[in-house]
A and B are shown apart, each in its own frame.
Chain A
Amino acid sequence: MKILLPKKQIEAFRTKAEKTEHRRELVVDFMREIQDHYGWVPDEGVELVAETLGVTTIDVEEVATFYDKIYRQPVGRYPIHICDSICCWTRGGEQIAAHLQELLGIELGGTTEDGLFTLLPTCCLGGCGRAPSIMIGRKFHGNLTVEAIDQLIDQLRKEVAR
């Protein structure tokens, strides 16, 4: 079973929290760390953050559920955020979204059966000059075409197979 976060990292975070005057400010930081390691933030993650920062679980939960880039449910290994805002829309964003759904055989919000990809619509990624765009994990990809999407997905599948 995959562990939530290595002991060392938890200890490092505990030390950081002790040195921070307003510990609660670290709540997003800590959840981002757990997510980077575990892929998403399960209930145990919320509890760990709460306990480490000396706040209640609802204090953490109400923050976790506010942000769309904190995943409180399992997502694929590569969460794909598809920009559906205006600049991408002007340059074929809808076709990119449709193509990704067809290529992966899932709808927006869904995860592929092999657990590799999740499709999530998102607002503007701040890459309006390079529309249409998506973000895979934390990596931005712009000036997309259907062919470029095929290549990207192919490349990621090969990476996993390796």
Chain B
Amino acid sequence: MSATPQLLFKNRVPGKTVSYKDYCKTGGYTALEKALKGMSPAEIVTLVKASGLRGRGGAGFSTGLKWSFFPADKPAPKYLVCNCDEMEPGTYKDGELLAADPHQLIEGMILSAYALNADTGYIFIRYAYDQQLKNLQQAVAEATAAGYLGKNICGSGFDFELHLHGSAGRYILGEETALLNGLEGQRPNPRLKPPFPAQSGLFGRPTTVNNVETLANIPHIVNGGAEWFKGLARNHEGAGTKLFGLSGHLNVTECFELPVGIPLGELIEAYGGGVWRNRKFKACLPGGASTPYLTGEHLDIALDFDPLAAVGSRFGTAGVTVFDDQTCMLRVTLNLLRFFARESCGWCTPCRDGLPLVCWLLEKIENGEGTLDDLQMLRDQQQHISGRSFCALADGAMGPLDGLLRLFEQEVIDHIDKGRCPF
């Protein structure tokens, strides 16, 4: 197990937070010094593109490519926003990272802002991450005192100020345009795209929104190089390491930094300690509540964006939630759909009205009162909602429903035939 190179978790000691001093001892802020003294912003964008780093917030878009769309030559103000809303069930890796070693994010943000020529940054932090907010307040103060934030950083002529924003709940704030409305103090419904944030984002100015883990990887890429970073993955199309947050019916439910492309079965056995109570593996969410289930036939699959897309699921945030063989997948799906229905902002009809209808149908079947017509209506609703909502929330909600209807249809029919939940 120790063979896995640790980048993001290299300083991590459970229950402790790495101080500025200790961060510097293990090479902290050397990437920033190196870049400010010897690299142009365009060189960093090229390097990040070459590294193969893909967004760690769930969508998996190439970070370097996203940055290359940013109008760096436009006049200030331009914003770099870090998304630490992290509210999708099963996802807790950014929280673990910031609890352990917050300076990585600060250094990553300064480097990224330099690459984008952004002058102001915000870190948007969910309500439940109170300790992480405190850690970041401390880290910002230390970085400012060290001359890494503010005017003329390291004598380079580059200025960057960083603000922290504590939120007050609601999953939809993780959607980048809803997050921008939230930062502005508006009601945080998502915005219509285009214009995309790169053109008109925070306060109508060019803005890039990146996830915590994505930004924390930047110092390591600058120090280690693109080839090295790419080579960390286990599969040839992958790049880097990934924080895998394990949860559900496993013996060990912790967060591990492991190579991208690690097979699902190995993750479950070698790190999750196997399924709990000597039961068997039935299914899992591979990357958060919105990612369609994987089953026993997927245990050899490499956990990465492309291989998971090829089997109809998604890598998402790599928050892996495992279900044992005594679990009712209809009940699991109902739990997930209730979450999405409750967290809908209510802006568009497919999401506001469609998700409660799906919940009602699932409830009816789970309670043994469902018919085959209800099953057909579930299929119809999936068609009606997918791709027709204002933002990605309802599409995400269709992930588990799709998984249920595709992989566990017989289980749903059993509920209907027996007139009760068979579990």
Interface set of A (CB-CB < 8 Å, partner B): 22, 24-29, 31-32, 53, 55, 59, 62-63, 66-70, 84-87, 89-91, 122-131, 135, 138-140
Contacts and interface: CB of A to CB of B under 8 A. Distances in A.
Nearest to B338: A84
Contacts of B187: 62-63, 66
Between A24, A28, A84, A90, the greatest number of chain B beta carbons within 10 A of the residue's beta carbon is seen for A90
Contact of A131 (B128, B165, B253, B339): B253
Interface of B: 86-92, 95-96, 126-131, 165-171, 182-188, 203, 245-249, 253-255, 285, 289, 319, 321, 323, 327, 332, 335-336, 338-339, 342-343, 345
B343 A126 contact: no
B332 A25 contact: no
Contacts of B129: 126
Contacts of B335: 84-86, 89
Contacts of A91: 248-249
B166 to A, nearest CB: 6
B188 A66 contact: yes
Given A67-B127, A124-B171, A128-B321, 16 more contacts: A22-B203, A28-B166, A29-B166, A66-B188, A67-B170, A85-B289, A86-B332, A87-B89, A87-B90, A89-B332, A90-B327, A123-B171, A124-B289, A125-B128, A129-B246, A138-B127
Given A89-B335, A123-B87, A128-B89, A138 B130 contact: yes
11 contacts: A22-B184, A25-B185, A28-B165, A55-B185, A66-B187, A67-B167, A123-B89, A123-B339, A124-B289, A128-B247, A138-B130
Contacts of B96: 129
B166 A32 contact: yes
A124 B87 contact: yes
Nearest to B336: A86
Q: Which of A29, A126, A129 has the most CB of B within 10 A?
A: A126
A15 B87 CA distance: 33
Contact of B168 (A55, A70, A125, A139): A70
B128 A140 contact: yes
B339 A128 contact: no
A24 B92 contact: no
Contact of B321 (A62, A70, A87): A87
Contact of A67 (B168, B186, B249, B327): B168
Contacts of B342: 123
A25 B91 contact: no
Contacts of B95: 126-127
Contacts of A63: 185-188
